[in-house]
Structure 1
Amino acid sequence: MKIKHVLLTAMVCSLFSCSRNGAGISTTFEVDAAASSVEWKGAAPDHFHTGAFDITGTLKADRHGRIKNGTFRIPIASIRDFDLEDPLKEQLLTHLKSADFFNLLVYPEARFQITEVQPYHQKEPTAIDGANMLITGDFTLIGQTHQLRFPAKVTMTGDSIQTEATFNLNRLNWGMNSFSDPEQPLYILPNVAITLHIRTIKTND
């Protein structure tokens, strides 16, 4: 009985010590919208277009900057194009917002919910240089939710966490099937190249 009492006391003290030194306590970081974006590159066999979306959201991290979870939203109406001039730019953006692609009127935003973050030690061809974390989450686009996993470079500086990533997103996996027939005059490749630039800042809570 004495041994059990000693072990129980040690466990309680250990837990109390962890609580006091901050282990297990989450810190909230909010996306710095002015310094963050989701860049995209969509291509046909003979040309491509580039642009970006805005992004908002929050993530939770421990006191060492290790990400525990996060929720991010991408407003579809924020889509921009980098390579065209008006009126072609406006025509492209209007088409991308239509039911052929993002169906903005029905699905005004995309969402990403982080479910797991693990250390990353591989070197995939599409991974960004310096990738050190493998981020897994549920990505919702035009009403469908599927798992999305990609390597990322995550760094903590002061009161901010910077996340950079490059990966390919297969639009067909989320039911964006328009212009996916190689035999048709307008064929758009399934993969969309994504580049993430996300800066989050620690909040006061």
Structure 2
Amino acid sequence: MKKRITTIFTLAALTIATVSCKDKAKEATTAEVQEVKTEASASQKYIADAAASSIQWKGNKPGGSHNGTIKIENGVLSANGDKIESGSFLINMGSIVVEDIPADDKMNGKLLGHLKDADFFDVEAHPNAAFEITGSTVAEGKTMLSGNLSIKGIKHNITFPVSVTNDANGLTLTSETFTIDRTKWDIKYKSKSVFGDLGDKFINDDIELKITVKAAKA
């Protein structure tokens, strides 16, 4: 009987581990800064609709997570059909919102203040982040978009999968959910890879992101 119970728990643990691995978003490929693409003569220019564009974020820690959104302040994209040729957008870090805690709960304000202070995004010193497109390729049937991501004045080139739709109403670029390692942008608060004595009081290095940019023809 004891052996049977042990086997059941082992199978359950393996099932949970398998599901967790399957559901975990892939980390964006990170490389050195690359040259920014310029607009090609045959490209159509699109202006981002700030009200309809945003970035969803999620941070995880043992026993829980927090999530919310950040606004895209402005941006421009150039595309030839469904192929993104070049572009960039500015991210308003002061617009960060926490969605998993009610807005009128004091813990919402506490977390929001912490995310904006120097432990995390240091919004006072670095009010904006930015993304500049450096190229796109197709791999295994997916469009892989590359660009220089600047956070807290630190730039790294990242590559992640996106889908692009282009119709009479304009262009929509939507990324799959992907992760970045926050420590590469000097966000080290309670990072287990930086501080070795945190026990289970750490916050995962990976931040999940999902980008949506809606844009109209210029």
- Fold shared per TM-score above 0.5: yes
Deviations 1:83-109 (A, max 9, x none): 112211111010000000000111111
User: Which of these residues, 157, 161, 164, is aligned with residue 147 of structure 1?
Assistant: 157
Partner of 1:156: 166
- Mapped partners of 2:45, 2:59: distance in 1: 33
Deviation at 1:186, TM superposition (A): 3.0
Decide whether aligned partners of structure 1 residues 106 and 77 sit closer, same or farther in structure 2, where only a CA change above 3 A counts.
same
Deviations 1:142-185 (A, max 9, x none): 11001111011111122411111121111011111111036326
Partner of 1:178: 189
State whether residues 53 and 80 of structure 1, in contact with CA within 8 Å, keep that contact through their aligned partners in structure 2.
yes
Identity %: 32
- Tell me the amino acid that sits aligned with residue 60 of structure 1: S
- Is 1:117 aligned with 2:136? yes
CA RMSD across the alignment = 1.6
- Tell me the amino acid that sits aligned with residue 74 of structure 1: I
> Which segment is superposed worse, 94-103 or 83-92?
83-92
- Name the SS for the 1:103 alignment partner: coil
- Mapped partners of 2:216, 2:143: distance in 1: 19
Deviation at 1:66, TM superposition (A): 2.1
- Mapped partners of 2:191, 2:207: distance in 1: 13
Q: Structure 1 length as normaliser, TM-score?
A: 0.79
Deviation at 1:116, TM superposition (A): 0.2
Runs of 5+ unmatched residues, structure 1: 1-22, 123-131
Deviating 4+ runs (over 3 angstroms): none
- Mapped partners of 2:83, 2:169: distance in 1: 13
- Is 1:198 aligned with 2:217? no
Give the number of the structure whose residues are more often strand, by fraction: 2
- Mapped partners of 1:195, 1:117: distance in 2: 17
- Mapped partners of 1:134, 1:38: distance in 2: 18
- Mapped partners of 1:46, 1:183: distance in 2: 18
Structure showing greater Rg: 1
Query: How many residues matched?
Result: 171
- Mapped partners of 2:111, 2:139: distance in 1: 37
Runs of 5+ unmatched residues, structure 2: 1-39
> Which segment is superposed worse, 76-85 or 173-182?
173-182
Partner of 2:61: 44
Structure-to-structure mapping, 1:1-205, within 5 angstroms:
24-55=41-72, 56-62=74-80, 64-85=81-102, 86-121=105-140, 132-165=142-175, 166-181=177-192, 183-184=197-198, 186-203=201-218
- Name the SS for the 1:102 alignment partner: coil
Deviation at 1:196, TM superposition (A): 1.3
- Tell me the amino acid that sits aligned with residue 189 of structure 2: S
